[in-house]
Structure 1
């Protein structure tokens, strides 16, 4: 690709191509991670299969352009991963207890959770992270207003529904802290007044 009259490509054009490749690489990485989590084991065969499946999805079913304007924070990313593993184990034990408890019939509910950061990337990452935890299932993502519709298992009243919403927003906050921009981080972090109340 060249500029006007055969001139070499501009910095903007090169930056656009690099940005597109970066976004595709990030998307492929997340698809591989989700593939391995769905199989329940990370090994070489699952990584290779995830690369093949993810590559085919991106090639034959191209998604709308999702730009990454954030900043990767390794410490926050590790904190997100550690907390996610804890929630995964805790939720799995809770579902196992429900399954073996004689005569117990859990009640489910559908709730709407408006996210504070309405980018496609945040909607996708938050929906994936929430869906991977047993007991919660994403039913619908309303892209324009940035709302997730969730089915939550084992709810007993308004307090449980409020807790499910708070957990979803907390997942969003941890994701933004790991990969969000400074502006996005300001939207999900409590302000000075709220911090004072929390303390």
Structure 2
């Protein structure tokens, strides 16, 4: 490593950090204006001040994205999620109108193979979008999602639902994960899942 390359790494890191802060600043200003429901000069100036105060006094932790977006797996993720939304909506609608049927709910803990903050958040969001499933808790330290299942009977269905959550995780990692994260998908799940 040469002296020039050593100095370029820290400056590149600083540029990336400032870029991330500017993006967060812009989003906070936009959210402020959306909350007011009116794009005016007063709201824009107020948003600039509030966003600055938030970022100074409540700094956001650095979120690293080491992956890359892959178009094919991303399309698979979107289409499969849309298909699951339709199928699950029909199942939940059928449960609502079935006379005398009492659904049996359950809560399962599913340990993720790639427990990064981004993967936990994306997997929790996609799982919670599908009717009949809801992520109740994310154990960041253990890399585990606690998922409520609307209608499940027996250990076989519990195992199928846990596998369904892991399939969502695989699709997300293949769509936006790093090469190392994709390789981790090949490993068996750790104990306690």
Question: Is the TM value for this pair above 0.5?
Answer: yes
Aligned-pair CA distance for 1:65: 1.6
Task: Look up the match of 2:175.
Answer: 178
Work out which of the residue numbers 104, 108, 114 in structure 1 matches 2:105: 108
Query: Of the candidates 70, 74, 80, which is equivalent to residue 71 of structure 2?
Result: 74
> How many pairs were matched up?
162
Judging changes above 3 Å, is the alpha-carbon distance between structure 1 residues 166 and 63 closer, same or farther for their aligned structure 2 residues? farther
Check 1:170–1:112 CA distance in 2 against 1; reply closer, same or farther (3 A cut).
Answer: same
Distance 1:83 1:181 in 2: 21
Compared CA separation, residues 132 and 19, structure 1 to 2 (3 A): farther
Q: Which has the higher contact order (CA 8 A, sep 6+)?
A: 2
Q: Mark the runs of 5 or more structure 1 residues left unpaired by the alignment.
A: 1-9, 30-44, 192-199
- For residues 16 and 151 of structure 1, do their structure 2 counterparts lie closer, same or farther at Cα, with a shift above 3 Å needed? same
Distance 1:127 1:99, change over 3 A: same
Task: Indicate if the aligned counterparts of 1:77 and 1:178 stay in contact, CA closer than 8 A.
Answer: yes
Q: In the alignment, is the contact (CA less than 8 A) between 1:138 and 1:148 conserved in 2?
A: yes
Aligned to 1:139: 136
Larger Cα-atom Rg: 2
Gaps of 5+ in 2: 1-6, 28-33, 39-43, 45-50, 189-193
TM-score (norm 2): 0.72
Does the 8 Å CA contact 1:71/1:181 hold for their aligned counterparts? yes
1:11 shift after superposition: 3.1
- For residues 22 and 135 of structure 2, the distance between their equivalents in structure 1, rounded to whole angstroms, comes to 24
TM-score where L is the length of structure 1: 0.70
Assess, with a 3 A threshold, how the Cα gap between structure 1 residues 166 and 61 changes in structure 2: closer, same or farther: farther
